[in-house]
Amino acid sequence: MQSFTVLTGIAAPMAQDNIDTDAITPMAAGRSTSVDLGAMLFNNARYHADGSEKAEFILNIPPFRQSRILVAGENFGCGSSRERAVWSLMAFGISCVIAPSFADIFNDNAFQNGLLPVVLGKAECAALAAWLAQVPDPVVTVDLQRCVVESGFGPPMRFEVSAERRAALLEGLDEIDVLLRMQPDNDIFEAQDRLNHPWIYQPIPA
Amino acid sequence: MNTAQTLVDKIWARHVIRDLSDGRSLLRIDRQLIHDGSSRQAFDGLRRLGIGFRNRDQNLAMVDHIISTLPGRTGESHPPGRERIHALRDNARQFDLAFFDVDSDRQGIVHVVAPELGFALPGTTIVCGDSHTATNGALGALAWGIGTTEVMHVMATQSLLLRKPQRMRISFEGVLQPGVFAKDLVLHFIGRHGVAAGKGFAVEYAGPVVRALGMEARMTICNMSIEFGARMGLMAVDDTTLDYVRGRPWAPTGEMLQQAEADWRGLVSDADAVFDREYHIDCSAIHPQVTWGNTPQDIIGIDQTLPGLPDDPGQREAMQRSLSYMGLAPGQRLEGLLIDTAFIGSCTNSRLSDLQAAAEVVRGRKVAPGVTALVVPGSMAVKAAAEGLGLDRVFTEAGFEWRNAGCSMCVASNGDMVRPGKRSISTTNRNFQDRQGPGSRTHLASPAMVAAAAVSGHITDVRRLPAV
C-alpha cells in the first residue's frame, strides 16, 4: 500500500458529526469498475441531479478543491463497511482525516490502504475546522514520524496511533504479507481444531 | 482472581491462533460470507498474489446487494448491476466456490441465508464484507463486518489480525407490551444511548426479554449493533438456539450434532463474569418506535412528539439539517404524517416471522391510495415458506408488490429506490440522507408499524388501527 510519512496540504473543514460512508460514497454512484472514484466522492452533496456542481459544497470551493486532508466531527465513517469510502477519499487526493473519533470498520479500512485517521480532541477539531474556514491559506502538516499536526492555527497538536499501525503506514507494508508469514501457525491450529470442533470443517454439500 | 469468562471471551479464546506482542491476535475465521457488493477487488487481489482460497468450504458466496427483485428477474434485469453479478459468478467458478446465483432457490441476503442454511453455527467466528454481519451473532457466534482488503485476507488465510474488543452487556428486562417488537427494543436503546455507544465493544444482549424471543427476532437485535457503533453483537446459546439449528440443511447431524450441542451448551457468559460496560433496559415502558431524522438515534415512541431544538450550536445545526431534509419541525408528531412508500425487507426484518407480523396487520385491509408498498423476502426459502402459508396472497390482495429476495430498497442499488423528496417508512436499518435513493426521506420502524402505515397512508400506531 501507499506509505504515509509527512503530509502537507490543504485541509477542508467538514465539522459535522456522523458523516457516514453512504454520504462519502453513495451506492448508486459506484457500481462499475470504470467509475472515477475520486469524482464520485461525496457525490450527493457535491453535485446536483444533472451532474453540475453545488457551488456551496466545501470541496467545490477553491482552494478546497485541492484538499489533501479533511477535518471532521465525531464518528466519521459510520454505517456501511464499504471500503470504497476510503478508496474514494484517496482517489480524490485525501490521505488523512482528522476527527474526534472514527467508526471502527472505517478506521481499519483506512489503515489497510494508507489513509491516516488522526484522532484529536473534539474542541481541537472544531477550532481547527473553524480556523481553516477563515484563513486564505488553509494548510496543515500531518507528521506520522513525530505524531503531530502542525498549522498556522497554533502550537503542534500531538496524536496517538498504535505502534503496529504506525510502522505499517510509515513503510507502506501490506498486512497480507504478515498474515501469509504466520500461516504455519494456522496450520497447527487447524489440525487441532479439526479434532476439537469437527462440525466446523464439514465439506459444503455439492 | 476472577476467572469467570464472558461469552465473547470464550469464543475469542478458542479462535486465537497466536497472540502478537503488539496486542493484536491472529484469529481463526470459521465462516466467510461473500456477496456481489464488496468482493470483486478481493478476488482481484487474490489473483495478483497468485494464491487461492485456504479453506474453500468455509466460504459461501451469493448475489444479494445488486440483484433485481422483480418477478421473472435474471442477472441482466438491472443493467447497472450486471458487471458485478457477472464478476461474482465468474470468480465463484474460477475459485470453485459454493455460490447461490440469481436462479437458485437458496439465494437471498447473506445474513438471512447463512443461519437458515445452518452454515452459520454457534461458537464460530463469522465475517463478511458487510456491516450487518453481527446478525449471525444471535446464534451465539462472534460475527462482524470487514472491508474488502480483509475479505481478501480471509480468502487467502482464513484468519485475521485484530484486537480483542471490550465487552458490553445490554439486559432487556420487564415485559414487552403488545405491538412492541425486537426492532423497537434495539431502536429504543440507540435512541437513548446514541449511535457511538458501542464503538470498540462486542455486545452481548441478555435478559428475560431476549430469552423469550425467537431466533429471528434475536437476529433483528444483533443486526442493528453496528447502528450504535458495535461491530459485534451476540447472544448466549439456549434451547431456542439449539432447536433452531437442528435440522438445518448444512447443520451437523447424528453423533456430530450431539457432540456439537454438548459444546454449544457451554456458550454462555459465566454467572460472575465481568463486563466492561453494562446497561439495563426496562422494556415495559417501550412503545413502538419510529425514527424522525437521519441517524438511527433520532427516534421517538409513536406516542411522543419530536424534541425541541437543542441549545448546543453544533447539535442544533445538525438537527436543523435533518429536519429540513426530512420536511419536519421541532415538537411535531409523527402520527398522521403522510407516506409515499412502505418497504418490508432487508437483513434486519425480512424473515418469516417479520412477514407474519406484517401480514397480521395487512389481512383484510388495503394499501392506501397513492402508497407504493413492497414486500421483499430475505431469501427465496423465506419466500417459499411464506407462500406455503398464503402470506403472498394476503399482501398482493391488499395491493403490496411481492418480490424475489435481495437487499433491495435498504441499500437502493438494484433499481428499487424511493423517489427524491418522497417519504418512506421502512423495516431497514439506516435512515441516512439519500440511503434509499437521492432525496429519500426514511423513517425506520418494525414490520407491524410499516404495515400499519401502508394501509393507513400515514404513520400511525399499529395498536390503534381501527378494526377491520
Predicted confidence (pLDDT) per residue in B131-152, tens digit? 999 999 999 999 999 999 999 9
- Report the C-alpha gap between A142 and A146 in whole angstroms: 9
Tell me which fold the domain B166-237+269-285 belongs to. Aconitase; Domain 2 (3.40.1060)
Strand, helix or coil for residue A41: coil
**Hey, of A24, A74, A78, which one would you mutate to test binding to chain B, going by the most B CBs within 10 A of its CB?**
A78
| pLDDT at site A30 | 53
Q: Which residues of A touch B156 (CB under 8 A)?
A: 176, 179-180
Predicted confidence (pLDDT) per residue in B98-123, tens digit? 999 999 999 999 999 999 999 999 99
Q: Which residues of B touch A175 (CB under 8 A)?
A: 149, 153, 161
Partner-chain residue, chosen from B17, B314, B435, that has the shortest CB–CB distance to A22: B435
A178 in contact with chain B, both atoms CB, cutoff 8 A: yes
| pLDDT at site B165 | 98
Cell numbers 455460490 correspond to B99
- CB proximity list for B247: less than 8 A, separation 6 or greater: none
Buried b (16+ CB within 10 A) or exposed e, B153-185: bbbbbbbbbbebbbbbbbbbeeebeebbbbbbb
| pLDDT at site B204 | 98
- Do B131 and A81 count as a contact with CB atoms less than 8 A apart? yes
- Over range A16-39, report the average pLDDT: 83
Pairing of strands B441-444, B423-426: parallel
**Hey, of B14, B25, B139, B195, which one would you mutate to test binding to chain A, going by the most A CBs within 10 A of its CB?**
B195
Tell me which fold the domain B289-463 belongs to. Aconitase; domain 3 (3.30.499)
- Please confirm whether the linkage preceding A63 is cis (ω < 30° from 0): yes
User: Hey, which bits of B70-218 come out as E strands?
Assistant: 98-100, 125-128, 142-145, 159-163, 166-173, 201-206
- CB proximity list for A117: less than 8 A, separation 6 or greater: A76, A96, A97, A99, A102, A106, A107, A110, A111
- Report the C-alpha gap between A100 and A79 in whole angstroms: 17
B368: DSSP letter: P
| pLDDT at site B468 | 87
| pLDDT at site A26 | 86
What HEC string does B64-96 produce? CCCCCCCCCCCCCCCHHHHHHHHHHHHHHHHCC
User: Kind and range of the H or E element at B381?
Assistant: helix B380-388
- Report the C-alpha gap between B113 and B381 in whole angstroms: 8
Q: Greater confidence, B87 or A30?
A: B87
- Report the C-alpha gap between B430 and B455 in whole angstroms: 23
Q: Which three cell numbers stand for residue B94?
A: 474460477
pLDDT at B269 over 60: yes
In chain A the domains, ranked by start, together with CATH numbers, are 6-198 (3.20.19.10)
Say yes or no: ipTM exceeds 0.85.
Answer: yes
- Which strands, in side-by-side order, build the sheet including A154-158? A116-119, A96-99, A67-72, A6-14, A139-143, A148-151, A154-158
- Report the C-alpha gap between A124 and B146 in whole angstroms: 30
Are B7-163 and B289-463 the same fold in CATH?
yes
Partner-chain residue, chosen from A16, A83, A189, that has the shortest CB–CB distance to B147: A83
Which CATH number among 3.40.50.150, 3.30.499.10, 1.10.10.10, 3.30.1370.60 corresponds to the domain B7-163? 3.30.499.10
Partner-chain residue, chosen from B28, B40, B200, that has the shortest CB–CB distance to A193: B28
Q: What backbone phi and psi angles, to 5 degrees, belong to B148?
A: -65, -35
Calculate the alpha carbon distances from B406 to A157, B117, B380, B423, B442 in Å.
47, 16, 9, 22, 19
Across chain A, mean pLDDT equals 95
Cell numbers 423495516 correspond to B427
- Over range B14-27, report the average pLDDT: 95
pLDDT at A29 over 90: no
Partner-chain residue, chosen from B23, B57, B147, that has the shortest CB–CB distance to A108: B147
Calculate the alpha carbon distances from B202 to B25, B143, B246 in Å.
16, 10, 26
- Over range B409-436, report the average pLDDT: 96
| pLDDT at site A32 | 65
Query: Mind telling me how many Å the CA of A200 is from chain B's nearest CA?
Result: 7
- Over range B39-48, report the average pLDDT: 96
| pLDDT at site B1 | 59
Q: Which residues of A touch B49 (CB under 8 A)?
A: 176
pLDDT at B284 over 70: yes
Amino acid at B83: E
pLDDT at A28 over 70: no
- Report the C-alpha gap between B288 and B300 in whole angstroms: 9
Q: How many residues does chain A have?
A: 206
User: Kind and range of the H or E element at A151?
Assistant: strand A148-151
Calculate the alpha carbon distances from B439 to B68, B74, B368, B433, B435 in Å.
21, 28, 23, 7, 8
What is the CB-side half-sphere exposure of residue A96 using CA atoms within 13 A? 29
Banded pLDDT at A35 (limits 50, 70, 90): confident
Does residue B418 contact residue B409 with C-beta atoms inside 8 Å? yes
- Do B200 and A104 count as a contact with CB atoms less than 8 A apart? yes
| pLDDT at site B314 | 87
Predicted confidence (pLDDT) per residue in A44-94, tens digit? 999 998 999 999 999 999 999 999 999 999 999 999 999 999 999 999 999
| Residue-range domain boundaries for chain B | 7-163, 166-237+269-285, 289-463
Residue among B102, B103, B92 nearest B61 (CA): B92
Distance of CA A145 to the CA centre of its chain: 18
Pairing of strands A6-14, B166-173: unpaired
Banded pLDDT at A27 (limits 50, 70, 90): confident
Q: What's the sign of the alpha-carbon dihedral B432, B438, B439, B440?
A: negative
- Report the C-alpha gap between B244 and B241 in whole angstroms: 5
Dihedral, B20, B23, B29, B33 alpha carbons, nearest 10: -140
Q: What's the sign of the alpha-carbon dihedral B174, B180, B182, B185?
A: negative
The percentage of residues in chain A with a pLDDT greater than 90, rounded to a whole number, is 93
- Report the C-alpha gap between B135 and B149 in whole angstroms: 21
Cell numbers 473534539 correspond to A122
User: Kind and range of the H or E element at B219?
Assistant: helix B215-223
- Report the C-alpha gap between B338 and B443 in whole angstroms: 12
Predicted confidence (pLDDT) per residue in B334-373, tens digit? 999 999 999 999 999 999 999 999 999 999 999 999 999 9
Calculate the alpha carbon distances from A10 to A70, A98, B51, B147, B405 in Å.
9, 13, 40, 28, 46
Does residue B165 contact residue B231 with C-beta atoms inside 8 Å? yes
- Do B17 and A44 count as a contact with CB atoms less than 8 A apart? no
| pLDDT at site B247 | 96
| pLDDT at site A2 | 87
Q: DSSP letters of B41-56?
A: HHHHHHHHHT---S-G
Amino acid at B236: A
Q: H helices within chain A, ranges in order? A: 21-24, 43-46, 84-92, 104-113, 122-134, 163-171, 175-181, 183-196
Other beta carbons within 10 angstroms of residue A181's beta carbon come to 9
